[in-house]
Amino acid sequence: MLLPVVLLLVGLIAGWTVRWLYAKGQLSASEQRAERLKKDAVKEADALKKELLLETKDELIRERNAQEKELRDRRNELQRYEKRLLQKEETLESKASAVERQAQEFTDRERKIAEREDEVSRQEEKWREELERISGLSADEAKRLLMQSIEDDAKREAQTLVSRVEQEAEAAAEKKSREILVSTIQRMASDVNAEVTVASVSLPNDEMKGRIIGREGRNIRTLETLTGVDIIIDDTPEAVVVSCFDPVRKEVARRSLERLVSDGRIHPTRIEEVVQKVTHEISQAIYEEGEKVCFDFSIHDLKPEGIRGLGRLMYRTSYGQNVLAHTREVAMFASMLAGEIGADRDIAKRGGLLHDIGKGIESDGDSNHVELGVELARRLGEDERVINCIAAHHGDVAHSCPESVLVQVADALSASRPGARRETLDNYIKRLENLERIAEQFGGVEKAYAIQAGRELRIMVNHETVSDSEAKDIAKSIARQIESELRYPGRIKVTMIRETRIVEYAR
């Protein structure tokens, strides 16, 4: 038992010894190999160190060369700058020297000029004293005489220039106005219709005349009383004449008589009924005609009173000329003229359409149609320019706008066209000659002119023989004599002119 244990112990010890020896041999071999690796590493480190030192030395050499090159370039550039600065400094020094020389020259010149001015002043004072001694005038007096002479020359030249410009402007304006009027008249073509104060009513037979007269004349008296006309029954076959200065009443009577004749029932009650009905129809027709006129001229804001006033003009005449046709013509003329000269066409057209509206107003006062028209236009809220067109179209009021002048021109064109009015040329000329004759028979009157179709008498008196107060007395005397000797429509304005006129000629 003991032997196996001993043998086991011996075997264990022997095995451990062998392993220890083997481990020791391995350790010795590892140490040798580590020593070799160490030596090799040292050698490689030395070689790498030498290589790095060489590379570092090369890099330092390259860096030093680059810095030396940059230093050389900068040194060269600085040398160029220094050279350039030296050149500029030399240039500035030369310029400064030139400026100093010029300043010295200027100083010398100013000194010489000041000396010359002093000399001139002394000479001027000397010559002034000499001139004052010779002329006997002081410097202020001589200056005043010279200025007066220059002023007189300038005034003469200005007057000559103004006179020439005015003459040229008058010639050009007259030519242009003729062209505008001719162009406007050529563009306006309208028929001329003469109105009369009588109307004829056709009858189916002469027996109807007796029925119109009625028993003891009651039918004709009733008709004349209700309409305010004269019914003339004479020997004219199958016709009755209605006469009245009022076209509206004449038209009411004519239509009423035609309906009574057509109906056959003629007695006072029937006559009154027909007259009332026709009167209403005429009133309605008047308003419709006013609306038609406003529509034709694109006037859409006129109040009913103004529309009715325009419509009444259809039954109004002036020297036989229908006033509504005349009004239409004036509005068209005024609008065309305004377009030609650049004025307000709407104002001119409206003023032309309303210029005679006073003739369509029924009034019991003494106001003429111009005053009535102005009053109505103000009630209607018309533009002040339109009101001036109405007020100034006969020259009674001064024109405040070009449109009122155009309306006056258009009114004259419409009224003066041949055939527009029934007043004959002989009667017209005779009336104007009588006007001038009455004025020229007074002492101190040099010349008299009837203008504006006889609505104004312009009188020139001698200012040396007639004073202002005497001129007023002569004007009143002429106006009274015209009223007593002549018959005329409307009124005539007497204008007395007393003026001092001085004319000189430059030869």
A 10 A CB-CB count for 169 gives 10
More confident residue, 163 or 295: 295
Q: Where exactly are the structural domains of the chain?
A: 151-183, 198-416, 425-497
Q: In the chain, pLDDT over 90 holds for what percent of residues?
A: 0
Percent of the chain with pLDDT over 70: 85
CA atoms within 13 A on the CB side of 301: 7
Comparing C-alpha atoms, which of 189, 190, 187, 191 is closest to residue 336? 187
Task: Reply yes or no on whether the pLDDT at 6 is more than 80.
Answer: no
CATH class assigned to 425-497: alpha beta
Mean predicted lDDT score pLDDT of the chain = 79
pLDDT of residue 418: 47
pLDDT score for 277? 92
**Per-residue model confidence (pLDDT) at position 425:** 45
H helix intervals, 297-322: 304-312
The per-residue pLDDT for 333 is 84
Q: What number is the average pLDDT over the span 236-252?
A: 78
pLDDT digits (tens, 9 = 90+) for 359-410: 877 665 556 788 888 888 888 888 888 888 888 888 778 888 888 888 888 8
Instruction: Count Cα atoms within 13 angstroms, Cβ side, for 173.
Output: 6
Q: Is 495 helix (H, G, I), strand (E, B) or coil?
A: strand
Asked whether the whole model's pTM tops 0.85, one would answer no
User: 272-323 pLDDT, tens per residue?
Assistant: 898 899 889 888 888 888 888 888 888 888 888 888 888 888 877 766 677 8
Kindly tell me if the per-residue pLDDT of 191 is higher than 50.
no
Give the residue carrying structure tokens 């160490």: 38
pLDDT single digits (tens) 211-242: 888 888 888 888 877 777 778 887 777 788 88
Question: What span, in angstroms and rounded, lies between the C-alpha atoms of 490 and 457?
Answer: 14
Closest among 389, 384, 385, 342 to 370, alpha carbons compared: 389
pLDDT at 31 over 70: yes
Return the exposure string of 125-149: e unless at least 16 CB atoms fall within 10 Å of the residue's CB, then b: eeeeeeeeeeeeeeeeeeeeeeeee
